């Protein structure tokens, strides 16, 4: 079995890679830490920011990058196929549903 500490978690929106999270240290400290369930999405409406978090890792971006709020953020798990550490195999892990975003609204 390949060392799970080498696993990575790339995050995509609309086929565009936003960032990649590393294997969480929380999983090292607590084997019961559920990676899939601990991906969280936060939205600061007043500042227009969206944050994705896994344990103490986080990525924040401007909600203006979101063109269509009916699409979800997709998270994959990339695992090396064997001990040569040459080829990673991506597997879909989870969708994060985006909040209802009003990108442009007419001011009256």
Do 8 and 88 contact (CB within 8 A), yes or no?
A: yes
Can you give the pLDDT at residue 8? 94
Q: What is the DSSP letter of 15?
A: T
Do 98 and 18 contact (CB within 8 A), yes or no?
A: no
- The pTM assigned to this predicted structure is 0.82
Residues ≥6 apart with Cβ < 8 Å to 107: none
Is residue 46 in a domain?
A: yes
Determine the structural domain holding residue 30 and report its residue range: 4-96
Is residue 23 in a domain?
A: yes
Is residue 107 in a domain?
A: no
Can you give the pLDDT at residue 105? 58
- Tally of structural domains, the chain: 1
Lowest mean per-residue pLDDT among 37-46, 71-80, 89-98, 99-108: 99-108
Do 46 and 62 contact (CB within 8 A), yes or no?
A: no
Mean pLDDT (whole number) for 73-79: 94
Is residue 57 in a domain?
A: yes
Is residue 78 in a domain?
A: yes
Is residue 74 in a domain?
A: yes
Can you give the pLDDT at residue 1? 47
**Between 4 and 73, the higher pLDDT residue:** 73
């Amino acid at each position: 079995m390949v060392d799970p500490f080498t696993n990575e978690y790339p995050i995509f929106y609309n086929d565009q890679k936003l960032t990649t999270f590393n294997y969480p240290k929380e999983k090292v400290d607590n084997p019961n830490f559920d990676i899939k369930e601990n991906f969280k999405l936060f939205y600061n409406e007043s500042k227009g920011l969206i944050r994705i978090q896994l344990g103490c890792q986080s990525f924040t971006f401007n909600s203006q990058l979101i063109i269509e709020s009916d699409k979800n953020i997709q998270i994959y798990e990339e695992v090396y196929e064997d001990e040569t550490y040459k080829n990673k195999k991506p597997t879909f892990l989870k969708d994060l549903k985006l909040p209802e975003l009003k990108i442009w609204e007419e001011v009256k």
